[in-house]
């Protein structure tokens, strides 16, 4: 991967062109291989380049493969804390867009003041809960203030761009935007995020998965449940750790960042610390899915849950709450189980899988089949058609 960082650089690599190509500018805080939104934007941009789109990126950071042909303009400034980084980018990013934007302009939520053609909605801040992962009063107060800033800035940006197309990452998010911004309803569509079906193809990472199990001290026949994500309280890691005490057949692998010491203490108090492997933030997650036997995510809220779709593409049965995105993928009893936010629900689902391993394998195969509808090719094609319509002056939002 190449970190594109020079604000004066033009495109990296050759720029393909086609009769139906157009120029697109995408504005985001960060683009790269780590983080759900960052990875989604990376895949979209690379897919657009393959389709012949001329892409300009305006962002704080942009990490894409060398030779991607993307014209990148860096917005220099702090990445954190949010209450400093957000207003900084709001102003500096807006100036960069005014100077550098070309063609159809797509912005990621309410992060700049400019009028856009497309607002990409990865999260509706009027709905999404803010569950602090730490207990200190100062931290909780900061989270509440951050939530207020996000909600106010979103309202202002959406109102300013009321004639834009609002492209939401799932049907659930689209419904949330329509509910909280009824005047925008005619402009709201859903373009699902995609999943890399080739990268997460079952069997592709078999050797790496076997090696990883060895490094982690996990036997080949040992059942492993995989949890992927940050914001551990919201995503329900506590419930999974508690469920592990009632599911002795299983080990748990945790990928992502969070308050590890707190959860290690919880695991120790339940006597399950020896059955948990803490993997930290991983740049390459495909081998993790390959070494696992099931995916578990008792989350309270998601907009799309890229990790769940990657798990399905990898052929894992899904144990997840019925949140946005997941509802459109998981078929209870076919490719997984809908769980609720109780440790008993998680442990029961794990127990049912371990008691019938042939059924568990069939659920994994069914999950893979269900994921095929959500290829990146489909996602990129939907964006490609949207940009073409806008470039031709067709402002009405296409049907979802």
The structure tokens 């995105």 sit at: 325
Lowest model confidence (mean pLDDT) among 134-148, 157-171, 251-265, 359-373: 134-148
Q: pLDDT (tens digit, 9 = 90+) per residue, 127-152?
A: 855 555 455 788 788 888 999 999 99
Extract the tokens encoding 67.
């030779």
Q: Is 291 exposed, middle or buried (0-12, 13-18, 19+ CB in 10 A)?
A: buried
Which CATH fold would you assign to the domain 2-194+376-391? Rossmann fold (3.40.50)
Q: Which of 207, 221, 205, 222 is nearest to 315 (CA)?
A: 205
- Check whether 199 has a pLDDT greater than 70: yes
Higher per-residue pLDDT: 128 or 81: 81
Query: In the structure, what pLDDT confidence band is assigned to residue 11 with cuts at 50, 70 and 90?
Result: very low
Lowest model confidence (mean pLDDT) among 136-145, 183-192, 212-221: 136-145
> Residue 60 to residues 95, 136, 146, 228: CA-CA distances in angstroms?
13, 30, 19, 25
- Check whether 10 has a pLDDT greater than 80: no
- Check whether 346 has a pLDDT greater than 90: yes
Question: What average pLDDT score do residues 102-110 get?
Answer: 96
Lowest model confidence (mean pLDDT) among 169-173, 329-333, 396-400: 396-400
Q: What is the pLDDT of residue 135?
A: 59
Cα angle, residue 178 at apex, residues 173 and 184 outer, rounded to 5°: 120
Structural contact between residues 320 and 186, judged by C-beta atoms closer than 8 angstroms: no
Q: How many CA atoms, within 13 angstroms, populate the side-chain half-sphere of residue 188? A: 22
Phi, psi of 102 (to 5 degrees): -135, 140
Query: In the structure, what pLDDT confidence band is assigned to residue 9 with cuts at 50, 70 and 90?
Result: very low
Mean pLDDT of the chain: 91
Residues 6+ apart with CB under 8 A from 162: 183, 184, 187
Give the ranges where the chain is alpha helix by DSSP (H).
36-50, 82-100, 137-160, 171-180, 206-216, 232-235, 237-244, 260-270, 286-291, 306-313, 343-355, 357-371, 376-391
Q: What is the pLDDT of residue 141?
A: 87
Structural contact between residues 283 and 33, judged by C-beta atoms closer than 8 angstroms: yes
Query: In the structure, what pLDDT confidence band is assigned to residue 370 with cuts at 50, 70 and 90?
Result: very high
User: What's the CA gap between 8 and 19, in Å, rounded?
Assistant: 28
Q: pLDDT (tens digit, 9 = 90+) per residue, 267-322?
A: 999 999 999 999 999 989 999 999 999 999 999 999 999 999 999 999 999 999 99
CATH 3.40.50.2000 spans which residues of the chain? 2-194+376-391, 206-373
Q: What is the pLDDT of residue 16?
A: 46
pTM (predicted TM-score)? 0.84
User: What's the CA gap between 13 and 315, in Å, rounded?
Assistant: 35
β pairing state of 30-31 and 61-64: parallel
Cα angle, residue 255 at apex, residues 254 and 257 outer, rounded to 5°: 105
Q: What is the pLDDT of residue 344?
A: 98
Query: In the structure, what pLDDT confidence band is assigned to residue 8 with cuts at 50, 70 and 90?
Result: very low
DSSP string of 139-193, one letter each residue: HHHHHHHHHHHHHHHHHHHHHHTTTSEEEESSHHHHHHHHHH-GGGGGGEEE---
- Check whether 400 has a pLDDT greater than 80: no
Which CATH fold would you assign to the domain 206-373? Rossmann fold (3.40.50)
Structural contact between residues 92 and 378, judged by C-beta atoms closer than 8 angstroms: no
Question: What average pLDDT score do residues 55-71 get?
Answer: 95
Q: pLDDT (tens digit, 9 = 90+) per residue, 85-100?
A: 999 999 999 999 999 9
3-state secondary structure string, 95-131?
A: HHHHHHCCCEEEEECCCCCCCCCEEEECCCCCCCCCC
Cα angle, residue 35 at apex, residues 144 and 259 outer, rounded to 5°: 55
């Amino acid at each position: 991967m190449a970190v594109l960082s020079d604000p004066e650089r033009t495109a990296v690599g050759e720029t393909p062109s086609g009769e139906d190509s157009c120029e697109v500018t995408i504005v985001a805080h960060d683009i790269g291989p780590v983080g759900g939104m960052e990875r989604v934007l990376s895949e979209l941009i690379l897919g657009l380049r393959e389709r012949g789109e001329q892409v300009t990126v305006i962002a704080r950071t942009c990490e894409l493969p060398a030779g991607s042909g993307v014209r990148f303009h860096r917005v220099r400034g702090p990445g954190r804390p949010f209450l400093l980084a957000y207003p900084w980018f709001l102003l500096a990013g807006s100036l960069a867009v005014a100077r550098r934007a070309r063609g159809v302009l797509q912005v990621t939520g309410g992060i700049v003041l400019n009028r856009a053609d497309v607002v990409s909605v990865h999260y509706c801040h009027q709905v999404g809960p803010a569950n602090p992962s730490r207990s200190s009063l100062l931290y909780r107060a900061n989270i509440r203030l951050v939530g207020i800033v996000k909600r106010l800035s979103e309202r202002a940006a959406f109102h300013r761009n009321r004639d834009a197309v609002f492209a939401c990452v799932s049907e659930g998010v689209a419904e949330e935007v329509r509910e909280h911004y009824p005047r925008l309803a005619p402009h709201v569509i859903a373009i699902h995020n995609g999943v890399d079906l080739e990268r997460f193809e079952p069997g592709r990472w078999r050797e790496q998965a076997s090696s990883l199990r060895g490094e982690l001290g996990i036997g080949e026949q040992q059942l492993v449940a995989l949890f992927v994500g940050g914001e551990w309280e919201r995503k329900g890691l506590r419930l999974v750790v508690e469920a592990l005490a009632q599911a002795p057949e299983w080990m748990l692998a945790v990928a992502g960042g969070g308050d590890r010491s707190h959860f290690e203490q919880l695991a120790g108090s339940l006597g399950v610390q020896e059955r948990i492997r803490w993997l930290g933030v991983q740049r390459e997650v495909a081998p993790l899915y390959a070494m696992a036997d099931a995916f578990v995510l008792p989350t309270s809220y998601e907009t799309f849950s890229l990790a769940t779709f990657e798990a399905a593409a990898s052929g894992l049965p899904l144990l997840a709450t019925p949140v946005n995105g997941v509802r459109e993928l998981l078929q209870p009893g076919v490719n997984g189980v809908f769980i609720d936010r109780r440790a008993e629900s998680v442990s029961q689902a794990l127990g049912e899988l371990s008691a019938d391993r042939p059924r568990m394998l069939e659920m994994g195969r069914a999950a893979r089949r269900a994921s095929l509808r959500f290829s990146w090719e489909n996602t990129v094609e939907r964006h490609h058609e949207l940009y073409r319509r806008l470039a031709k002056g067709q402002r009405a939002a296409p049907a979802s």
